[in-house]
Amino acid sequence: MADTLTTEQREIVAMVRDFVEREIIPVEHDLEHDDIYPEDIVRKMKELGFFGFAISEQWGGAGLNYETYARVCEEIARGWMSITGVINTHFLVSYLIETFGTDEQKQRFLPKLATGEHHGGYSMSEPGCGSDVQAIRTRAIRDDGEYVINGTKMWATNGEHATVVATLVKTDPDAKPAYRGMSCILAEKQYRGFYASRKIEKLGYKGVETTELVFDGNRQPAANLLGGVEGQGFQQMMAAIEVGRINVAARGVGVAQRAFELSIAYAQERHTFGKPIAQHQAIQFKLADMATKIEAARLLTLMAARTKDSGERADVEAGMAKLFATEACFEVVTEAMRVHGGYGFSKEYLVEQLYRDAPLLIIGEGTSEIQRLIIAKGLLERYKTR
């Protein structure tokens, strides 16, 4: 696939790659195993403008298109997948505000999001709901110039560090169908009764916190209703998820790429039966399959990003990219562990970490099963016979 990036966009990707090599890769192994939030890395990313990558220049950002965004996310995930979680939810909030926000909301939030002064979070899931988004129970009741919010949210990335969280709530619980009664509140932590109640312990994806969020009589200004109109929240959040799926697909490519690089290097260094294992046909087959899957996943991800850049509907393309790239990532990381043999099972080697990170990508931003439903529905619409 031809490179359509401008010189400036290529320089940004190269800058991110250099940052990953210098600032992330040397320290991420210890931070990940100790589950330490990467304060120093995040601070440096803010200084370099990472938090404004996906925000338009008029609001102080870099205004990257989706293809550049995908390439940047791949580079960061190659260094440490958790870092992409720090900025992905931030990008989703900026996307929501730029796309659906009122002029006042854009002026109030976007410049601070671009610098990282505001840190964005995204919250849709709830205990017991999972993929059944329309079953959420968090309620927001209008009371003069405020919304009173009560409920509990789950799986909130950046739940502790986020200062503004795009939160899906029910403003009309009696609406039929249910999604028509949902709205998105740009919930700010500065208002009492909104807090991260606990940190969720995870198999992988460490360093970045995943939390439960509680709204206990929390009052948010009515001016924080995204777009200023009730009943639009479900469509708004689903549009953001489409962008998020491109991000998760790019993460899958990045993690798989790192696993492949480690494997092909190890295969040339490790000797058995008097020669490098890279000279054994069984290992060569693994390396060939790994590289082929990664390249296919990368092309699907870039296709989805370019479709989004063109302004076309990209639900099918984003679903295909997310489905294939994340499943391929898990397969590649599994093969990387086999290439490393017993050492792949050791915490001393990075492959063990990649093996714990990969499953999240299959689940996050919609499971593989959900992606297949989305893809099939979109294809049936495109190829309708009557």
Q: Which of 264, 324, 262, 336 is nearest to 294 (CA)?
A: 324
The answer to whether the beta carbons of residues 382 and 316 sit under 8 Å apart is: yes
Whose tokens are 């870039």? That residue is 302
Round to whole Å and give the CA distance between 210 and 213. Answer: 10
Task: List for the chain the helix, strand, coil content (%; round to 5).
Answer: 60, 15, 25
Q: Residue 33's Cα: distance from chain center in Å? A: 21
Q: Which two tokens stand for residue 93?
A: 């909030």
Q: What is the secondary structure of 241-307 as a DSSP string?
A: HHHHHHHHHHHHHHHHHHHHHHHHHHHHH-EETTEEGGGSHHHHHHHHHHHHHHHHHHHHHHHHHHH
Q: Which of 226, 196, 221 is nearest to 211 (CA)?
A: 196
Round to whole Å and give the CA distance between 123 and 337. Answer: 34
DSSP letter for 24, please: I
Residue 148, beta-bridge partner list: 141, 219
Residue 122, beta-bridge partner list: 166
Catalytic residue among 39, 160, 365, 381: 365
Told to judge if 261 belongs to the known catalytic residues of this protein, a careful annotator would answer: no
Residues marked as catalytic: 365
